Structure 1
Amino acid sequence: MRNDTPLAGHRALVVGGSTGIGRGIADAWAAAGAEVTVCSRSRPAGPGSEALCWEGLDLTQRQQARSRLRDLAQGPLHAVCFASVHYGAGRAPLSDVTEQEWLDQLAVNTTGLWLTLAAALPSLRAAAPGLFLGVSSEVAFNAGPGRAGYAATKAASKTLLDSVAQEEDSSQVRVVQVLPAGMVDSPGIRSRRPDDFDYTSYMKPSAFDAVARELAVTAGEKYHGESLVVGDDGRWWSAYGSAPVSQNRPVGS
């Protein structure tokens, strides 16, 4: 018989878990019995939010973020997810993007991940084996016009986690990355689309329920160092066995 709360007694931290894929992962872990703290600029809302603890965190404020993450990571942590992302105002040629947008992408997408790893790894080792789950993107594999800053910072983040996976003893910490097979319906995406945009072909954050549960319950066993593509039906596969489909399109389209 399936245990509906296999993560009871587990502590989990989701950085960037108020909406989008991070929220889907936070909800899945909470539903499986974990004590989940979400760190984000906005408080989680809607169904399931009552099961989540919330701590305000702005990764563009580096000194404060470092201190807050260090405090939140005290004690054994069984699972940590980094899902924070700064897309930018919209797809545009590099020459049309402000330096501040680049700095914000770097601060959130890459430095924010570094700060989270630095704070969380000792506590994940204490839970041995702990899981560090990074939310990646197909752009880390494909690059593309009109999103150079986003592509560069996500590729750097992927390589950062690939490198940490090679450093860590998998009996203590397992590092896994997940990424969507297609576009995901989220407030961040909706803020960049016209009011009459049709989202019926977009994935939902709940597509990550099964993989998030599996990875947390097994602490990433069999998947250490992997990047897993997740489909809209919840199934997943290795990005190295079947490369993620590019979502490139001409700038301005």
Structure 2
Amino acid sequence: MLGMTKASPRSNTVFVMGGSTGIGRGIAQALLGAGLQVVVFSRSSPTDQPGLEGVIWRPIDLTDPGESRQRLDAAVQEFGSTLDAVFYSAVYYGPKRAPLLQVSEQEWRDQLNVNLHGLWLTLAATLPALRLRTPALFVGVSSEVVYNAGPNRSGYAATKAAAASLLDSLAQEEGPEGVRVVQVLPEKMVDTAGIRQRRPATFDYSDYMTPQTFQSITLNLYNSRGEGFHGDSLVVGHNGDAWRVEEAPPASQSKQSA
């Protein structure tokens, strides 16, 4: 079990990729509440949403790699001198679970561009700035599919597993005194706008986690800059507690309704 770290944050900037909805929104809310300058990258504006008043929004559509590269480079030019943490929560799942041959090539490419290539673009743009603020922090939001490949979600599973491997490799390159790389993932399903689009109107979400569940681990990792957890993947439980995935891997969700 991981305890809270009490280190005080420095005055700085944090990027949250995919911070307008879902887990990214919970992360952005926690960082903003801690008094940090938070820049959210997303397709839709988060600034009129409760709890996100005061964030800086930079529009981005990661399904367009060329434009995304330009927007990320511009943001680093603008905020790079104070950037010392990045949270990558952008994700593309698709409209529903489906067998491989029922998934269009465009959907597969969108999953690649958001879940994997968007992560690569973000790393390429931000690592030089983060390395000037060491110890700095890069957090990727992972998924149980990395550990539980299942039917009817092959593209999502493949891209999330590749993203996790990318960050695992980067952690070995950087070392704990440089840019600390940590991954977090939910123990159970999370009640998000994307999930609600794939569920019937009468679906019961009472057993689902919420994006706010990630706020404790967000502040813990940010305040310590991930000290002691470099290279780890942390499972976040229903009550906000967290543990290393080696201690108790998450259960598969592949048999739940789409």
Quickly name the TM-score band, shorter chain normalised: over 0.9
Provide the residue aligned with 2:252 in structure 1. Answer: 246
Secondary structure (helix, strand or coil) at the match of 1:95 reads helix
TM-score for both structures, normalised by structure 2: 0.93
Structure 1, residues 170-203: CA drift from partner, whole Å, max 9, x if none? 2120000000000001111111111111111110
Between the aligned partners of 2:122 and 2:100, the Cα distance in structure 1 is: 28
1:11 paired to 2:17: no
Q: State yes or no: 1:231 paired with 2:203.
A: no
TM-aligned CA deviation for residue 244 of structure 1: 1.2
Cα deviations by residue, 1:11-56 (Å, 9 ceiling, x for unpaired)? 1000100011111111111111210000000111422111311110
State the Cα deviation string for residues 144-184 of structure 1 (Å, max 9, x = none). Answer: 00000000000000000000000013212000000000000
| Runs of 5+ consecutive residues of structure 1 not aligned to the other structure | none
Aligned residues: 251
Q: Which residue is 1:211 aligned to?
A: 217
Query: How does 1:36-115 map onto structure 2 within 5 Å?
Result: 36-44=38-46, 45-73=48-76, 74-115=80-121
* Contact in 2 for aligned 1:7/1:29 (Cα 8 Å): no
Letter in 2 for 1:190: R
Report the CA distance between 1:241 and its aligned residue.
Answer: 1.6
Partner Cα distance (1:240, 1:120) in 2: 29
- Structure 2: tracts of 5 or more residues without a match: none
Amino acid at match of 2:44: S
Contact 1:4 1:32 in 2 (8 A): no
Residue 190 of structure 1 corresponds to 196
Counterpart AA for 1:49: L
Greater mean alpha carbon deviation, residues 147-156 or residues 59-68: 59-68
Deviation at 1:240, TM superposition (A): 1.4
1:73-93 CA distance string (max 9 Å, x none): 232411101000000111010
Identity of paired residues, percent?
53
Q: Which amino acid aligns with 2:209?
A: M
TM-score (norm 1): 0.95
Cα separation, 2, equivalents of 1:71 and 1:249: 43
Q: 1:91 to 1:3 in 2, by over 3 A?
A: closer
Does residue 1:119 correspond to 2:122, yes or no? no
In the TM superposition, what whole-angstrom CA distance separates every residue of 1:190-249 from its partner, at most 9, and x where no partner exists?
A: 111111111111101110111000100000000000000001101000011211111111
Q: Secondary structure at the match of 2:8?
A: coil
Three-state SS of the structure 1 residue aligned to 2:86 is strand
Q: Structure 1 residue 5: deviation in Å?
A: 10
Q: Assess if the C-alpha contact under 8 Å between 1:14 and 1:82 holds in 2.
A: yes
Letter in 2 for 1:65: S
Distance 1:48 1:167, change over 3 A: same
SS in 2 for 1:225: coil
Question: Is the Cα contact below 8 Å between 2:151 and 2:254 reproduced in 1?
Answer: yes
The residue that corresponds to 1:26 in the other structure is 28
Tell me: CA distance 1:164–1:3, structure 2 relative to 1, closer, same or farther (3 Å).
closer
Greater mean alpha carbon deviation, residues 100-109 or residues 239-248: 239-248
Q: 2:154 — aligned with what?
A: 148
C-alpha RMSD of the superposition:
1.8
Rounded Cα–Cα distance in structure 1 between residues aligned with 2:5 and 2:108: 45
Would the aligned equivalents of 1:184 and 1:205 in 2 still touch at CA under 8 Å?
yes
Note the alpha carbon deviations across 1:85-131, whole angstroms, 9 max, x for none. 00011101001111110000000000000000001111111111110
Alignment check: 8 A CA contact 2:39 2:55 kept: yes
